[in-house]
Amino acid sequence: MEKGKVFFVATPIGNLGDITLRALEVLKSCDYIACEDTRHSAILLNHYEIKKPTFSYHKFNETRESEKILTLIANGKNVAVISDAGMPIISDPGAILVRELIKNKIDFEMIPGANAGVSALALSGLDATSFVFGGFLPEKKQDRIEYINRLARAESTMIFYSACHDIKKDLNDLFSILGNRQVSVSNDITKKFEQTFRGRLGEIEIESPRGEFVIVVEGQVMQNALNKLDINEHIQHYLSAGVSRMEALKLVARDRNMSKSEIYKASLNNKK
């Protein structure tokens, strides 16, 4: 028996018209559709009169359902994998299945389409020649501080995803580490009430946030504005963001391209 195939299919990020002809062909011809949320996907499938068996494939059952998909394709069935919006795998389920397919030397295909991150980058007006995709920030405070800190020295534009209940916290934490950089915040891209706010971190306010957000932040500029502060004021900037003094010293040393010990000595001298 000839093996089936897995197709990872990008779906619209808002407007149902933003789906490719090829994506529709695959969804109509496959034997099964694995959906991040079958109820959400039913809106798209019903709109295009696609009637195929569906089953849930999300982050909480991804390992188990990946095994199910491998069994289906071993029995000659073709399976399409879709997420609620955009490309599966990118901040959505699918990575575990991809690794299993590669491990077992099984061919699979990507059916490209709409992408919120790239769309927001184009809307931002910031440098699009190179960018870093940061996805969703970690939940725990210390984890997110460390994560942002790792990306802080990148000269490429940074892209982050944010849910409505996290957007204010995410913007505040990005400001606390990255400073007053240029930022663009896009909300509900391709939907009826799509909005894009442009300005600087620490200045943009999002009132009554709803829906999904994409935050686009400029990369590290050659001259960090924080370096114009007194050493102790620079340290205090990071302390006020909730980091430890040791972490604050490390961040200031990074900004000024100095060693942590040099920053520590300079801070003591400035107190005299």
pLDDT at residue 272 is higher than 60: no
CATH number assigned to the domain comprising residue 181: 3.30.950.10
Q: Are residues 83 and 121 in the same domain?
A: no
> Does residue 147 fall inside a structural domain?
no
The average pLDDT across 190-207 equals: 92
Q: 62 lies in a domain?
A: yes
Sign of dihedral through CA atoms 172, 173, 174, 179?
positive
Into how many domains does the chain fold? 3
State the average pLDDT over residues 201-226: 85
Q: What is the rounded distance in angstroms from the CA atom of residue 202 to the CA atom of residue 181?
A: 9
In the prediction, which pLDDT does 258 show? Answer: 76
pTM for the predicted model, two decimal places: 0.79
CA distance 141 to 87: 28
pLDDT at 153: 81
Q: Is residue 39 part of a domain?
A: yes
Q: Flag whether 189 is in a domain.
A: yes
Q: Tens digits of per-residue pLDDT, 154-197?
A: 889 999 999 999 999 999 999 988 888 999 999 999 999 999 99
Asked which of 3-7, 86-90, 268-272 is least confident by mean pLDDT, the reply is: 268-272
Integer Rg of the chain from CA? 23
Indicate whether 257 belongs to any domain: yes
Q: In this predicted structure, what is the pLDDT of residue 7?
A: 98
Span 102-129, average pLDDT:
95
Q: Does residue 252 carry a pLDDT above 80?
A: yes
Distance between alpha carbon 193 and the CA centroid of its chain, in Å? 21
Mean pLDDT value across residues 264-270: 76
| Spatial strand order in the sheet of 131-136 | 131-136, 157-163, 212-217, 182-187, 195-200
Question: Which is higher by pLDDT, 209 or 80?
Answer: 80
* pLDDT band at residue 119 under the 50/70/90 scheme: very high
d(CA 216, CA 186): 8
- The CATH number for 55's domain is 3.40.1010.10
% pLDDT > 70, the chain? 97
Position 148 in a domain: no
Q: Is residue 146 part of a domain?
A: no
Residues 57 and 104 reside in one and the same domain: yes
Question: Six-digit token pair at 212?
Answer: 């999904």
Q: Domain for residue 1, yes or no?
A: no
The string of pLDDT tens digits covering residues 52-98 is 999 999 999 999 999 999 999 999 999 999 999 999 999 999 999 99
Helix ranges restricted to H, the chain:
21-29, 38-47, 62-74, 95-103, 116-124, 141-151, 167-178, 231-239, 245-256, 260-271
Tokens of 243: 């980091």
> CA-CA distance, 44 to 13, in Å (whole number)?
11
pLDDT of residue 237: 84
For residue 174, give Cα distances in angstroms to 73, 112, 238: 44, 30, 12
Query: Would you say residue 216 has pLDDT above 60?
Result: yes
pLDDT in tens, 231-247: 888 888 888 878 888 88
Report the distance separating Cα 177 and Cα 243, nearest Å: 10
Gap between the Cα atoms of 136 and 170, Å rounded: 9
Indicate the pairing of strand 157-163 with strand 182-187.
Answer: unpaired
Looking at the structure, tell me whether residues 194 and 251 fall in a common domain. no
For the purposes of burial, counting CB atoms within 10 Å of the CB of 248, is it exposed (0-12), middle (13-18) or buried (19 or more)? buried
128 and 109 in one domain?
Answer: no
What does the mean pLDDT of the chain come to? 91
> In the prediction, which pLDDT does 224 show?
63
Which is nearest to 238 in space by CA: 176, 155, 148, 189? 176
Say whether both 161 and 192 belong to one domain: yes
249 is in which domain, residue-wise? 225-271
8, 11, 17, 18 alpha-carbon torsion, rounded to 10°:
-80
